[in-house]
Structure 1
């Protein structure tokens, strides 16, 4: 009975080919994982670069906003306070003039009292614009209520405010929300020519959310150029500090709707 067996030489050749095949597969896998890992690392670095760039842009926007605010305060102090105090100073010197009649003395004294009262009132307004005492003492809800009352006092806009959130006492985070609403309301009045503004705080799927609307002239929200203004960048930077999101929806002559989370 004949038995057929693989020659030893052929067996060695087969083993070599199999070994070579596995070596090629192993090298291919190593190369594949190496380049895949390299690509992942590259994407992570690109993502970090984008985050750093975004943070730089935000910081730049905040710095510019602060500078603009400082200029505005300096202008207010110069126009409202300094000019009035200069006139008070002049009137005070007039009181030391000889031969003043009783009527002239009374008139000059009246001018000093009136101008001092106006300077005091304007200084309070400037301080209030920097930070509302109501907000500082009683928190975000009371601060927004007062903000709405202030806008309504101009008789040019009607506000509707509703709050369904029990806020904690994190004044630093709430200040960002307060400033966002200030910016939105100023834009509604100054640029949007709105006559009605709606603000509501409520939880949406457990997330703190603010709903803001006006009936102003609106803008084309699909045009990104409309969302690159200094005010918008300032809002974006504050939203980032709050780890929130923001969405603008607007059309020409159809007002604006804003939803932001915090």
Structure 2
């Protein structure tokens, strides 16, 4: 009877020990599972962070390239519109110092210098306007875009239509400048590359959303070759849209013009 009792107690102890062992095993398994899961989550987050860093590096690199392209363009404009003309002024001024120059020649050279000086001043204003349009700084994006479209319309070479339903101060000034540059580049592409006769611009803001639609009736281009079409300046537009955390959609084909859709959410 006593032996059976001890045998029963041993079985109970064995069962308890086995249960404790299973609990310990399950606890270790759970700890290892959570450790492994946490490790995978951390690894995934690190990979995601690295991808975001790489993406930001690409944006930064693209912005730097765009800035360098703009600097080269400005330098070329200054050389073509100012430096070369100032060289002519310098040559004329040296001629005025010659002893045998007549009064008639002096007056002729003076008139030439005056004309060139006026041209240089006008070119300087234009370059300064391209760098930062005064109307954009003083009156905002809507007024600047109206002026830009009106300037093109007044050339009588293009039919232009525009609808600008823009809420004042919807974007911060720096972002307004990016939107202005985007439209400016689109119009430049129309003028330089498209052989178009008209273009249209629609800009509107609703709550925290801005949408921009631009199209022309030019010759269009093959979207598959877009990345190779460096002369179209599309990389600069893409970079600015990235900076604005916007979405860009391009619709174009040969002989059918181009349509650009840009969506931006205001933060």
Indicate the SS of the match to 1:191.
helix
Instruction: Answer whether contact 1:219 1:256 (CA < 8 A) is retained.
Output: no
For residue 197 of structure 2, what is the aligned residue in structure 1? 195
In structure 2, relative to structure 1, the CA distance for the partners of 1:28 and 1:81 (3 Å cut) is same
In structure 2, relative to structure 1, the CA distance for the partners of 1:155 and 1:18 (3 Å cut) is farther
Indicate the SS of the match to 2:214.
strand
User: Offset of 1:18 from its aligned partner?
Assistant: 2.5
Q: Distance in 1 between matches of 2:68 and 2:88?
A: 29
- Work out the number of aligned pairs and report it: 257
Q: Deviations over 1:72-126 (max 9, x none)?
A: 2222222221111121222223234345444333322221111111111111111
User: Offset of 1:189 from its aligned partner?
Assistant: 3.2
More displaced stretch, 53-62 vs 95-104: 95-104
In structure 2, relative to structure 1, the CA distance for the partners of 1:154 and 1:20 (3 Å cut) is farther
Q: Distance in 1 between matches of 2:249 and 2:164?
A: 20
User: Offset of 1:205 from its aligned partner?
Assistant: 6.3
Instruction: Answer whether contact 1:215 1:256 (CA < 8 A) is retained.
Output: no
User: Offset of 1:15 from its aligned partner?
Assistant: 2.1
User: Offset of 1:216 from its aligned partner?
Assistant: 2.9
For residue 37 of structure 1, what is the aligned residue in structure 2? 38
The yes-or-no answer on 1:119 pairing with 2:86 is no
User: Offset of 1:258 from its aligned partner?
Assistant: 1.6
TM-score by length of 2: 0.83
For residue 8 of structure 1, what is the aligned residue in structure 2? 9
For residue 92 of structure 2, what is the aligned residue in structure 1? 91
More displaced stretch, 66-75 vs 249-258: 249-258
> What residue ranges of structure 2 are gaps of 5+ in the alignment?
none
> What residue ranges of structure 1 are gaps of 5+ in the alignment?
none
User: Offset of 1:154 from its aligned partner?
Assistant: 4.4
Instruction: Answer whether contact 2:141 2:176 (CA < 8 A) is retained.
Output: yes
TM-score by length of 1: 0.85
Which one of the candidate residues 248, 253, 260 is aligned to 1:251? 253
Instruction: Answer whether contact 2:222 2:253 (CA < 8 A) is retained.
Output: yes
